[in-house]
DNA sequence: GCCAACGTTGGC
DNA sequence: GCCAACGTTGGC
């Protein structure tokens, strides 16, 4: 049982989009970064918990919680020449890219990256490191609990 | 829109 | 296997 943070550009798939999907579930396809692929293929498994993060938008931050509901399998878009995620070097026998599936759990308040940076307990988070661009990052169990705790408190008690 | 940081590609 | 060039990410 592990913890993760997954970035999504809300104009592609927002937390509301995820909630509106059939079964509130989607394949997390289109990841074309080896480190993120390896996390999915080697480590992510059903039952893992996920912070859903909006990036590349006016207010980047954590917006909800999801869970992994399907272990990694080959990403179908790599075989589809009409897809922007097509990869000519991938074959059915030797797929290069994988996706897991995630399912909506709940929305949270917006916990912005700006706010995340204010907690010394979170300074080691990957997404807060300079230049970090990984769209899937592991979250330390201690950090997970810390963030959950922040999310449960009224905002007025958290921000000075 | 800018730009720093990083990953990937490809010539050698 | 090096490394320059290029493309992408993502906060601001």
pLDDT (tens, 9 = 90+) of chain A, 160 residues, equals 999 999 999 999 999 999 999 999 999 999 999 999 999 999 999 999 999 999 999 999 999 999 999 999 999 999 998 888 999 888 888 899 999 999 999 999 999 999 999 999 999 999 999 888 899 999 999 999 999 999 988 666 655 4
What CATH number is given to the structural domain containing A110?
3.10.590.10
- Enter the DSSP assignment of A147: H
Counting the structural domains of chain A, the total is 1
Q: Which domain holds residue A61?
A: 3-158
- Enter the DSSP assignment of A39: I
**pTM for this prediction:** 0.92
* A30 closest-nt by C1' vs CA: C8
The span from the CA of A44 to the CA of A40, in Å, is 5
Q: Is residue A27's beta carbon less than 7 angstroms from any atom in nucleic acid strand C? A: no
Of residues A154, A139, A149, A121, the one with CA closest to residue A53: A139
CA of A71 to C1' of C11 (A): 31
């Amino acid at each position: 049982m592990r913890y993760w943070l997954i970035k999504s550009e809300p104009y592609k798939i927002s937390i509301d989009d995820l909630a509106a999907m059939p079964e509130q579930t989607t394949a997390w396809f289109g990841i074309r970064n080896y480190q993120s692929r390896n996390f999915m293929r080697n480590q992510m498994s059903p039952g893992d918990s996920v912070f859903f993060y909006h990036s590349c938008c006016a207010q980047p931050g954590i917006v909800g919680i999801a869970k992994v509901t399907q272990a990694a399998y080959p990403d179908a878009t790599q075989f589809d020449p009409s897809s922007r995620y097509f990869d000519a070097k991938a074959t059915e026998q030797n797929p290069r890219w994988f996706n897991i599936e995630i399912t909506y759990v709940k929305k949270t308040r917006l916990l912005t990256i700006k706010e995340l940076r204010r907690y010394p307990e979170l300074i080691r988070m990957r997404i807060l490191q300079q230049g970090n661009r990984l769209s899937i990052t592991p979250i330390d169990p201690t950090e997970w609990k810390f963030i959950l705790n922040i999310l449960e408190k009224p905002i007025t008690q958290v921000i000075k």
